[in-house]
A = this chain, B = another copy of it.
């Protein structure tokens, strides 16, 4: 029985590496930490086959984080899971408008999802570097639509919303239109824990990068 956190993590990643090899799943070296973190957070090695990375996703994400990134989270679970200490050390900040009064009022008035209204509020009032969308397919759709209509594209879109209505379609659209570097998970699977795993893996890489430069 392994009960020490560092031993658990080490053994866990050893097993994940073995599973990736066993399944014959190959990824570019640079994205491997993110792939492993997503497998770690879902307990599901099969999820790796649906992960897609824009070629500039890692470099742009890390660059943005090192400059102190504004991260939009579609739901509170994503916001609460982010490594806030690490992000603060990089000078970054989290935004989540899903429970915002203005957003709630607009959603009620228009009949649209709160997720759509939250993205619209984020784009209207804030400069968002990274969109982390883990739950609501309509948040991703609203973002794609806004950029198409002239909103400035963010530095990185982590688009891994979940579900059977729209999620697979809007994620396919993200990959096809590629309005900004993206990380996505094709198909119906997704979720807040996956978005968090990706953001936190990037924060870890950005911190390591800073530390290595400081040495």
Contacts and interface: CB of A to CB of B under 8 A. Distances in A.
Interface of A: 1-5, 8, 11-12, 15-16, 19, 40-44, 76-77, 79-81, 107, 111-114, 116, 138, 141, 162-167, 187-193, 196
B164 A113 contact: no
B164 A43 contact: yes
Contact of A189 (B43, B79, B164): B43
Given A3-B113, A138-B8, A77 B193 contact: yes
A72 B113 CA distance: 30
12 contacts: A3-B138, A8-B165, A12-B164, A42-B162, A43-B164, A44-B188, A76-B80, A77-B77, A77-B192, A77-B193, A191-B193, A193-B193
A4 B114 CA distance: 10
Nearest to A11: B165
Contact of A1 (B11, B19, B40, B166): B166
Contacts of A40: 163-164
Contact of A3 (B5, B19, B112, B196): B112
Contacts of A8: 113, 138, 163, 165-166
Given A43-B163, A43-B189, A76-B80, 6 more contacts: A3-B141, A8-B138, A42-B191, A44-B189, A79-B80, A81-B192
Given A1-B166, A163-B12, A165-B12, A190 B80 contact: no
B192 A192 contact: yes
